Amino acid sequence: MGRIKLSFAPDVEVVFVDREMALRKIGEWAEKGVINVQVVFGPEGCGKSAWLRQSSEVLRDLGFDVIYINPVEKEFYAVVGVDGIRERLLEILREATDEAWARAVWATVDLARELIRAGRRKIAVLADEVFQAIGLGKASIYVKGLLGLIEYPPRSYERVIAVVATSEGVSRREIGRHRWADLLPMWNMPREGFRQLYDQLPGGKPSFDEVWRLTGGNPKLLAELYRVGWDADVVVKKIVDRKRIDAFVASLSNVERELLTQAVEDPDVLLSREGVSIMDRLTDLNLIVDTIPERDPLLWAGEAPPEKDLGLGIGRRVAWQTPLHREAVEKALR
């Protein structure tokens, strides 16, 4: 399997590394098929997009027609065996507006259906962070549309795989209300895989142990640190501003502030009657991942995090997305 190259920073490309378990999961779906849409969620920047792009290569090698779309990064490609499918999506995107990208997301369902109708036997739709384009309120409708490809195709097929990746905690709750999808978490990169990515970066850099302590294996935060000359304080300030954490903390009562202070040390304290409302707000802000399942490989899209690692902000059932996200909240509390 060829490894794709990814843009990491201006003038810096890296080769896709690790994620062996997640790629094996794609191979299992390709071999056995799926009965539901596979919704993969996890921390922002944990590598879901890179995994989906590499997965498209795997699926192409296995003879699949592949449609991939990421409206956030303005990326789309289709490798299909029917003339005109790719051109139709490109025509929708001719204006390159947010509205055009939203229409293109909905069009992936119709075009996949046309592939089945045309007699294509193996089809994969890889939808990456599409809920931001179509609106979180329509997330479950889109997932149901993808499920229709699997359950009610216009003609027989061999395999249809539909995978949606999201960082939106709100959308996960909405989708989880229905039985249309399997919800599978993906975590930040495991330590040795993350080291392979770190080793590809040019120039002087902090020790790997220091970078691991700050990022917890999150590739996006690694890129942000690289771009700002490894100044962690700058990245923390950006998180505080981007997430409006100061405003969130200011809205808390004294009791809630104390509970949040405890959660900085151990996020599992939020899984309580008093903490659930704070946990939900932190989830909506994409600062934590809540209700993490058991570390059974069958329940995960890739390598699971440790059972508990408070040094990285990982509890048994609740975890900060990265140590720097936790530090941003701690800074706002101070």
Structure confidence at residue 1 (pLDDT): 67
Within 13 Å and on the Cβ side, how many CA atoms surround 16? 22
Residue pLDDT, tens place only, 44-69: 999 999 999 999 999 999 999 999 99
Residue at 303: amino acid letter: E
Show the CA angle centred on residue 5, arms to residues 91 and 194, nearest 5°: 130
Same-domain status, 203 and 85: no
How confident is the prediction for the chain on average, in pLDDT? 94
Structure confidence at residue 204 (pLDDT): 95
Residue pLDDT, tens place only, 269-301: 999 999 999 999 999 999 999 989 999 999 999
Which domain-ending residue is among 140, 156, 185? 185
Q: pLDDT grade, residue 176 (50/70/90)?
A: confident
How many structural domains compose the chain?
A: 2
Q: pLDDT grade, residue 260 (50/70/90)?
A: very high
Cα separations in angstroms, 136 against 63, 101, 129, 139: 33, 15, 11, 5
Within 13 Å and on the Cβ side, how many CA atoms surround 173? 13
d(CA 52, CA 40): 10
- pLDDT at position 177 over 90: no
Same-domain status, 153 and 234: no
Which domain-ending residue is among 159, 185, 211? 185
- pLDDT at position 137 over 90: no
Query: Around Cβ 334, how many Cβ atoms within 10 Å?
Result: 7
Q: What residues make up the domain containing 89?
A: 5-185
**Please, which residues bridge with residue 183 across strands?**
39
Task: Pick the more confident residue, 83 or 122.
Answer: 122
Residue 215, exposed/middle/buried by CB under 10 A (0-12, 13-18, 19+)? buried
Give me the percent of the chain exceeding a pLDDT of 90: 87
Structure confidence at residue 178 (pLDDT): 78
Same-domain status, 206 and 153: no
**Please, which residues bridge with residue 68 across strands?**
77, 126
The secondary structure of 127-173, three-state, reads: EECCHHHHCHHHHHHHHHHHHHHHHCCCCCCCEEEEEEEECCHHHHH
Same-domain status, 197 and 244: yes
Same-domain status, 230 and 294: yes
Structure confidence at residue 319 (pLDDT): 97
Same-domain status, 132 and 35: yes
Structure confidence at residue 96 (pLDDT): 81
Residue at 138: amino acid letter: K
Give me the percent of the chain exceeding a pLDDT of 70: 99
Which domain-ending residue is among 124, 152, 185? 185
In terms of Cα–Cα distance, which of 151, 135, 170, 142 is closest to 41? 170
Enter the tokens of residue 15: 């080769």
List the CATH number of the domain containing 118: 3.40.50.300
Q: pLDDT grade, residue 255 (50/70/90)?
A: very high
Same-domain status, 195 and 148: no
Give the three-state DSSP class for 6.
Answer: strand
Same-domain status, 200 and 69: no
Same-domain status, 256 and 310: yes
Same-domain status, 164 and 40: yes
Same-domain status, 113 and 256: no
Same-domain status, 112 and 71: yes
